[in-house]
Amino acid sequence: MAKPAVSSSSSSWIWFVSVATLIHMCTALSSSSSSSRCYTAIYSFGDSIADTGNYLYYDTDEISPSSSLVLNPPYGETFFHHPTGRFSDGRLIIDFLAEQMGVPLLKPYLGIKKGQIKDWNSLEGVNFAVGGATALDISFFLEKGLYDVVVPTNYSLGVQFDWFLDLLPSICNSSSGCKEVLGRSLFLVGEIGGNDFNYLFLLGTTIEEAMTYVPLVINKISWVINKLIDLGAQTLVVPGNFAIGCNFVYLNSYPSTDMEDYDESGCLKSFNNFAEYYNKQLLAELNRLQELHPDVNIIYADYYHDSLQIYKSPRKFGFTKSILNSCCPLDNANNHNAVMKKCGEQGVITCNDPSQYISWDGIHLTEAAYKWIAKGLLKGPFTNPKIGLSCDSDM
């Protein structure tokens, strides 16, 4: 597989423009009024970073054997003590946001739709995020011949928005009533779009080619944001991409003998540069939307720098294991291109203490890492403007 790369001059340009755009965004977004109260509900869209159980309610013929491993132990072992459909050992960023707001952990839409979840209140929020989901519709991947190869689900962002429309009569029953109810709610639009590029990269797509698809992904996210605002959404949190060059699966999929390909923390520069490029384009679009809707709070969640601080200084955050280690399976560190058992497979060996690891299963993070990221969003500098929950509970 060819190793994607970005030239050093391109990297410098990306860094400079990203910083300049971020400063501009901070100025523009800070001018919008951020609510200082707790929101009454969260409505969440996204992929496995935010899926709180929709994966549990797939039809069996919709899940590949590999993807279904999340339904097996040791997933969920830390907090829930059983698999919940979450792609981690415990709680996710969205769970910590809900706890901070004082609302119940979000119920998955598919469980509600199929009548298997009875104790739900649509006025407290619903989760539409699905593991494996993409921002782009499945037609994009079908045209490229990729759907049957890597894309595990048809539940794209557009499909998730349609689910929201289907559920809307259960949330509110009139145009004016909807604007009031939805105006008191927090909408989490993402993280979404990361999988669009994960699938392309893992099939050998170059970074230069992947860049050409960035506008398509961002246009889809923008379209959903506009639709939600039209329906009455007043506060939307839109995360960018993580520091994927520090992610275990990328480090193991693209090993290099050239030390110039790595930064001082051991992260792959080219993939982090791509994530910064993507985030810069997303920021620019959010800035445009904010100007179009000055009375709406569009909050950028900087997942990139929020995660990067942990990758750069793991011990500062209580992680004793490096970014080259993952908890599940335990024995897969530094074993490039080896055929290894996957987390959730029978007989897999896992670590004794996931809180010492940033990486849970090589792709997703541990509850401990997600808690720090959530804290960075709520208490730190990684949202602009601030989410402004003003809730009494502590993290």
> Which residues are catalytic, by number?
48, 361, 364
As beta bridge partners, residue 44 has 127, 188
In contact, 53 and 111? CB cutoff 8 Å: yes
The residue with tokens 């119940």 is 104
In contact, 32 and 290? CB cutoff 8 Å: yes
Question: What b/e string do you get for 281-303 counting C-beta neighbours within 10 Å, with b at 16 or more?
Answer: bbbebbbebbeebeebbbbbbbb
47 secondary structure, DSSP code:
S
**What is the distance between the alpha carbons of residues 272 and 278, in angstroms, rounded to a whole number?**
10
Return all residues near 393 (Cβ < 8 A) that are at least 6 apart: 99, 100, 102
In contact, 322 and 313? CB cutoff 8 Å: no
**Closest C-alpha among 243, 233, 237, 132 to residue 190:** 237
Helix (H) or strand (E) holding 223: helix 214-231
Whether the upstream peptide bond of residue 74 has omega within 30° of 0, thus cis, is yes
Q: Which two tokens stand for residue 247?
A: 């992610």
**Closest C-alpha among 71, 289, 331 to residue 187:** 289
Q: Which two tokens stand for residue 198?
A: 């994960």
Measured between alpha carbons, how far is residue 122 from residues 129, 238, 289 in Å? Answer: 15, 21, 27
In contact, 294 and 286? CB cutoff 8 Å: no
Q: What is the CA radius of gyration of the chain?
A: 20
